[in-house]
Chains A and B, each alone.
Chain A
């Protein structure tokens, strides 16, 4: 008989993935050892992409795991959990992720916009799930903060270009120096 009664646990999410329309990894965070090596992870991502990118249904069972997913223009978002996990709980995580990003990117959820806001993505995911435990109930407030900040500073600026316009020193908050800011213990580590 299968182990029907679940061990109650807060560890809900096994992985969060974002792939582009070629199935290439843009973002991947695995929270447990289901796929320990990069090779296994990539193989899993390939399988997942092949099975899902042509259909618009939002849920599937793959390799014994429940996968909820959502596509947007040239991006595919996946949240993966155990097949015994409450599917709606996983869906809540996916919706939270998607809503946060869509707010951050001002509804323009596509590859280029996302790549320009990678740091926002990293911060958002960190705020939504920590070590496999769901953190925020709905779209994270962080993103609101993050997003307004970005807009104030330089709207539409693109990372990755050679000429990063330096901000005027006056527009930055005054640098604050910690009296006990860490200093490296030995110089040998630095060289």
Chain B
């Protein structure tokens, strides 16, 4: 036999894969053997294996041929060969989605499932559930219930897991089996217990009370199965998070007790659950960190990896908690698994002292080429965090980043590096020139359009302010010559920015732009023509408005407004002010701890939020004629505690002369239905309540919305800040929580809510002016006012800046919200758009003596906003 193999090897050049040259049609032809009697089990099993192998290789089977083979296969149930029978079950499962009429085997499978041979029963249950739909499920329900509580573990497990799969399609049938699942959960077999708990949780997960009961029951008696423990830890931590409750709850005690379990898997699951709990204190983390520390020296790579990865997460939020593990982490720096080594180093970079940075960087650069892109991104993130922590080290770190930038790598990795370099440039003015010149080199040979345009934009913004702007022109113009359209267009815009800010360079820029006017691409040509004409006017205000600061409207909004305009032709020219402005979201700061893995993040949620509101509001007839929505508050305010009978949150919408308060109410009582719900409001200032739009009916746990419309005060337009006292009014009808039947009679009731504040910030949109100086000149000093205030309660400049930004609700420009260290004077630049579409700019000079003195200068295109700002500050 052996000799024969060797011979074959020589012939086929090493490979001896009997499945290598399988032809689909030939195999299906062979399947005719199934019809022969007597059945040859070995031959037939082998043919089934070939079919499965083909499917497994990704070969596509047509419906007809699959059905034909499937029906031939059903003949094989006549043989009693165990292997052949098991292969039949597998084939049924694999073909259930390809072949037609697979339900033909139902009776055979039901027979096997209830038969005597235990070896058949489990697999038969699983195959049967695979071919069953919700209507047929009723017919086998009785057998399923029996199988779940069967004393043979493999049968019980099979039934439980199949039920879990069936939940997706037949939730209502499967949920009737909870009593059986409950019984199985007390099983001594570890897998049965695990599967039963999983099924129970999935059936009950929307019922918090039932889940809580389940946890307390099983944690009290203890569990047999380590897998079941892992499952319960997850259920408990999910429950804890939803309650966002205190740490002295029994749930937390349970998780903590699992740290002393004898299975490593459970201990690790518990530690990782504690680490992932939001808002965990250093003290609560300590026991979790110390078990992770022990795992660091485990001989198992997976355990070391798991431990160091979790420690890395801890280090993002609580670096001090991990310092105790530094010695163990040092030992992992040379681990042969590069993933572990990288994680160890990046963790050390977060927890270690400034002095160890050089050594660690050297270490990691020795194997940078061996690790996957995912981990390279982790390294870059760690460097980025370091730069913020130790600004003095930026030279070493920058060099490291530049080396990485030159090496091979995917888009995510390169983008992380570029992001990091840009943030260093923004933080450290002394590193700006070196940073920019390295980025210039990078775009010379950059395959990623997004990065190239981004860097060109940055060059346009920062380049003109450097000592020697002309040296960047060559790099930018090279792009115009060498690259494709998108990059060329970006380069043209960057050139124009140089021209707008440096008069001595203007003639040469004009020459370059004139060449671009002949470009092949529309966009590039248009941009070049536009910029050329603007620059030739040689007016600062034009430059500022059209080149340096650009449009501030939201692009989707503009698109919609323009489409609307073309649909309804009118004499009036299109008014750009009617377009909603693009808001700068407050959460623009870089997230502190970006996930290590490339999870697809929900993008553009903030951008579309306002659009959604606009559509919802436009659907309410009472709100017609209010004009376009100017601003919606960025997050809703809670007007109740989260654990009360009724939960109400408010979102404020500002229009030109009106405000709409949107109340999202939830009724958390399952024995009541609320009808005709309104929120009555009492203003302290001269706001007028115009009308209430009630929520018709609030059923249990189904959120509803009611609105209150108010007019802004006309008499005293500067009195924009106001407090409203709020009261929810409604009709209560009792109902039966189980059947949902409602009483006809209801009674009136009220519920006092917390007060709602309207502040200046609700009337101003944050808008970023990339070039504040240009915008300042553009608005001009026609309506300029200036006043000086003393902030007696504020002791530091940072605090003052934070308060002013929050109070005015305007966007800090030129990074002036970052106060340099050890300075006692600072100037803050703020930009925004006031209700009605008037630009408003504020320059605030702060001087720190014992208290902070503030000189506020406000400019706008109208007088009113300036008055309002100064009145509000005072």
Contacts and interface: CB of A to CB of B under 8 A. Distances in A.
A177 B78 contact: yes
A158 B57 CA distance: 21
A119 B126 contact: no
Contact of B17 (A38, A115, A123): A115
B593 interface: yes
Contact of B231 (A10, A68, A167): A10
A59 B337 contact: yes
Interface string B33-56: 000001111110110110011001
Interface string A134-166: 111100011001100110011010111100101
B238 A5 contact: yes
Interface stretch (B97-105, B703-711, B807-815): B97-105
A61 interface: yes
Interface residues of B, number: 104
Nearest to A28: B56
B58 interface: yes
A189 B108 contact: no
Contacts of A175: 38-39, 78-80
Contacts of A58: 300-302, 337
Highest count of chain A CB atoms <10 Å: which of B46, B374, B591:
B374
B759 interface: no
A59 B341 CA distance: 12
A32 interface: no
B80 A173 contact: yes
Contacts of B872: none
B775 to A, nearest CB: 34
Highest count of chain B CB atoms <10 Å: which of A2, A38, A89, A130:
A130
Contacts of B194: 10, 134
Contacts of A181: 74-75, 77-78, 108
Contact of A115 (B19, B201, B339): B19
A112 to B, nearest CB: 5
A189 to B, nearest CB: 5
Contacts of B302: 58-59, 68, 87-88, 90-91
A115 B38 contact: no
Contact of B49 (A1, A29, A119, A176): A119
B111 A122 contact: no
Contact of A123 (B41, B87, B104): B87
A42 B58 contact: yes
A60 B161 contact: no
B395 interface: no
A167 B48 CA distance: 18
A72 interface: no
Interface string B56-85: 111000001001100110110111111100
B374 A116 contact: no
Nearest to A57: B337
Contacts of B19: 115, 118, 160
Nearest to B60: A38
A104 to B, nearest CB: 12
Contact of B81 (A115, A123, A154, A172): A172
B269 A182 contact: no
A155 B337 CA distance: 40
Given A8-B238, A122-B90, A184 B161 contact: no
A123 B86 contact: yes
B278 interface: yes
A159 B46 contact: yes
A7 interface: yes
Contacts of B58: 25, 28, 38, 41-42
A11 to B, nearest CB: 8
A173 B265 contact: no
Interface stretch (B133-141, B283-291, B456-464, B594-602): B594-602
Nearest to B306: A87
Contacts of B108: 178, 180-182
A9 interface: yes
B104 A185 contact: yes
Interface in B116-164: 119, 123, 126, 154, 157-158, 161-162, 164
A169 B39 CA distance: 10
Contact of B71 (A61, A159, A177, A184): A184
Contact of B339 (A60, A180, A184): A60
Given A130-B158, A173-B80, A55 B195 contact: no
B80 A176 contact: yes
Nearest to B378: A61
B1 interface: yes
Given A89-B227, A118-B49, A173-B81, A61 B374 contact: yes
B90 A123 contact: yes
Interface string A61-97: 1111100100000000000000100111111100000
B40 A166 contact: yes
A25 B78 contact: no
A47 B268 CA distance: 29
A169 B38 contact: yes
Contacts of A51: 372
Contacts of B87: 119, 122-123
A172 B238 contact: no
B339 A57 contact: yes
A23 interface: no
B869 to A, nearest CB: 34
Interface in A106-123: 111-112, 115-116, 118-119, 122-123
A59 B305 contact: yes
A66 to B, nearest CB: 9
Contacts of A33: none
Given A61-B597, A118-B19, A126-B123, A87 B305 contact: yes
Contacts of A182: 74, 77, 104-105, 107-108
B78 A10 contact: no
Given A7-B238, A61-B596, A89-B227, A189 B161 contact: no
Highest count of chain B CB atoms <10 Å: which of A65, A89, A149:
A89
Nearest to A95: B302
A133 B303 CA distance: 21
Contacts of A63: 374, 598
Contacts of B195: 10, 133
A6 B238 contact: yes
A58 B306 CA distance: 12
Interface string A7-29: 11110000000000000010111
Given A88-B265, A118-B19, A119-B87, A133 B161 contact: yes
A178 to B, nearest CB: 6
B319 interface: no
Interface of A: 1-10, 25, 27-29, 38, 41-42, 51, 55-65, 68, 83, 86-92, 111-112, 115-116, 118-119, 122-123, 126-127, 130-131, 133-137, 141-142, 145-146, 149-150, 153-154, 156, 158-161, 164, 166-167, 169, 172-178, 180-182, 184-185, 189-190
Given A115-B18, A123-B86, A142-B119, 9 more contacts: A6-B238, A55-B338, A57-B301, A57-B339, A58-B337, A61-B372, A64-B374, A90-B302, A156-B1
Interface of B: 1, 5, 16-19, 38-43, 45-46, 48-49, 52-53, 56-58, 64, 67-68, 71-72, 74-75, 77-83, 86-87, 89-90, 93, 100-101, 104-105, 107-108, 111, 119, 123, 126, 154, 157-158, 161-162, 164-165, 190-191, 194-195, 198-199, 201-202, 205, 227, 230-231, 234-235, 237-238, 241, 264-265, 268-269, 272, 276-278, 300-303, 305-306, 336-340, 372, 374-375, 591, 593-599
27 contacts: A5-B237, A6-B234, A10-B164, A56-B336, A57-B340, A64-B598, A68-B302, A87-B306, A88-B265, A89-B265, A91-B300, A118-B19, A118-B49, A119-B46, A126-B123, A130-B158, A131-B161, A133-B195, A134-B194, A161-B18, A167-B40, A167-B42, A176-B78, A178-B77, A178-B78, A182-B74, A189-B71
The 5 tightest CB contacts between A and B, nearest first, are A160-B18, A57-B337, A38-B58, A8-B234, A10-B198
